[in-house]
Amino acid sequence: MACRIYEDVLEDEVEWDEAARRVEDGENHLSNSSQQRALCECGRPLHRYARLPTYQTFLMCSPSQECTRCEEDILPGDMHFVCTQCSHVHVCKDCGPSVYIHREYDFLDYETGEVQVQEVPKRVIHERRTRSALDAEAPCTRVARQVYSQIQQMAPELALEQDIEHNRWEAGNLLFRLLGVESDVEAAQSVLALIDGCQHVLAAQPTLTEVDVPCKIFGDIHGQLRDVLLLFHSFGMPGSADCPRCVFNGDFVDRGRHQVETVVVLFALKVLFPTQVYLNRGNHEDSTMNEKYGFQKVVLQAFPGEAGFRVYTAFSRCFQYLPFARALAAAARARHGGIGDGKWRLEDVRKVRRPLNHEQLQAPENRILWNILWSDPIEDDSAVSKVFGVHNSARSKIAVRFGWNVTQDFCVRNSLDLVVRSHQSKKWGLGFDVMHNESLVRVFSARDYEGNHNDGAVLQVEGEDESGHLGVRPQVLRSLSSA
């Protein structure tokens, strides 16, 4: 929920003595909105508070508070309002009895001699952080609502059609339909607005986010939008009661037929549901990979001329803000690739500063991040002799392959029971694998990927049952080879 910047600017201040008297006399009636903002829910007056403990001055990963009224983050050291009696109450400046700075200014037009009004430019608003919530009427929000309404229509339509492979799906100008536009110019404007809004949200959220259960985890998609819509129809549309929260675990683009449309859908979901839909970075959310495996090419084809380069540059920049992992119910972690050598802690990821480009990811100090994107587990039931420990990977000089004991040690070090990863398709596979003594699960959502005749899957992560276990249930979209 977004912080509401109240419109009543000229307000009467609440007298603290009068507020205290009302509490003592049992008078909880608040005569106007300014009094409501100035008082705690218990009726006592709110007091300004701004304190940054010494240790937080040095630890950039210091925890934030959550506004009791709007659920927006209050960063350490930010002035806000507290109640001396209710320790759980923290009210941000926008929801408390604070000052409102107009976002318009008056100026004298020398040509007409009249006073005109103009919007305050962003360059003069110096903010410590970007708010994660977006205005309901922002251009990106309008585009996101349009896209969401279309996928709600398209998913059941696809379920009634004869099933075909994603690369044979003839959907006309799917991008125009999703965006509700009729020209390339309109399409570019809409997509740029959506990218800007998504980047706004991603930049405001931490690199490691806690996700409540129940939630679904989607694996690699690679532009196979048809499969994604069928998964939505079969197992729950994001934002609905059947899918209240979901994590998309990277590799949204490259290779598939509808790469642009896929990432437009995912960005729209992130803009509409910033605290319910989570996007993780995969190794293909990277400009070097996009230039080699097709995303750059399809973007330039979808948006002719200079617009194509602008859209591609915006996508590339936004990808650099994607986080690397999610925490699920304090017992599981989702990340795209693997854990590398496993000799690191989740706090190392929490401290990561974004944006990060390809060259920065390859830097020695970011080897953990590179392996989160690129490393693979060694299958413990295979005929491989070197099952234990860490081994070189054919994928890259920096990436590794890790044995089951590395996963077990990593889970113990970080108080985890499960690691969820994606990154690998398996020929004739079910779309998921359970490995390393049930401490690692692989999920891959693009079915029949690159001719592998594999199923596509999502993982439904459920709350603890009576025995105290966190449940993980695969949900599978069958390969057309199985029909």
Cα separation of the two ends of the chain: 44
The total of other beta-carbon atoms located within 10 Å of residue 107's CB is: 9
Enumerate residues 6+ apart whose C-beta is below 8 A from 115: 106, 107, 108, 109
**438 vs 436: CA distance, rounded Å:** 5
Please count the CA atoms within 13 angstroms of the CA of 403 that sit on its side-chain side.
12
Question: Look-up: residue for tokens 């959550």?
Answer: 66
DSSP 244: S
Enumerate residues 6+ apart whose C-beta is below 8 A from 482: 455
Enumerate residues 6+ apart whose C-beta is below 8 A from 227: 166, 221, 445, 446, 447, 456, 477
Q: What is the largest CA-CA distance in the chain?
A: 85
Enumerate residues 6+ apart whose C-beta is below 8 A from 110: none
**119 vs 105: CA distance, rounded Å:** 6
Please indicate whether residue 284 is annotated as part of the active site. Answer: yes
Per DSSP (E only), the strands in 191-311 are 208-211, 215-218, 246-248, 277-279
177: three-class secondary structure by DSSP: helix
374: three-class secondary structure by DSSP: helix
Question: Look-up: residue for tokens 């089951």?
Answer: 404
Torsion angle, CA of 12/17/23/28, rounded to 10 degrees?
-10
Q: Name the H helices within 329-461.
A: 346-350, 358-361, 367-374, 404-413
Enumerate residues 6+ apart whose C-beta is below 8 A from 394: none
- Which of 200, 284, 423, 436 is an active site residue? 284
Checking DSSP bridges between strand 432-435 and strand 418-421, what pairing results, if any? Answer: unpaired
Torsions phi, psi of 436, nearest 5?
A: 50, 55
423: three-class secondary structure by DSSP: coil
**What distances in angstroms separate CA 456 from CA 93, 430, 476, one per listed residue?**
46, 7, 6
Residues catalogued as catalytic: 284
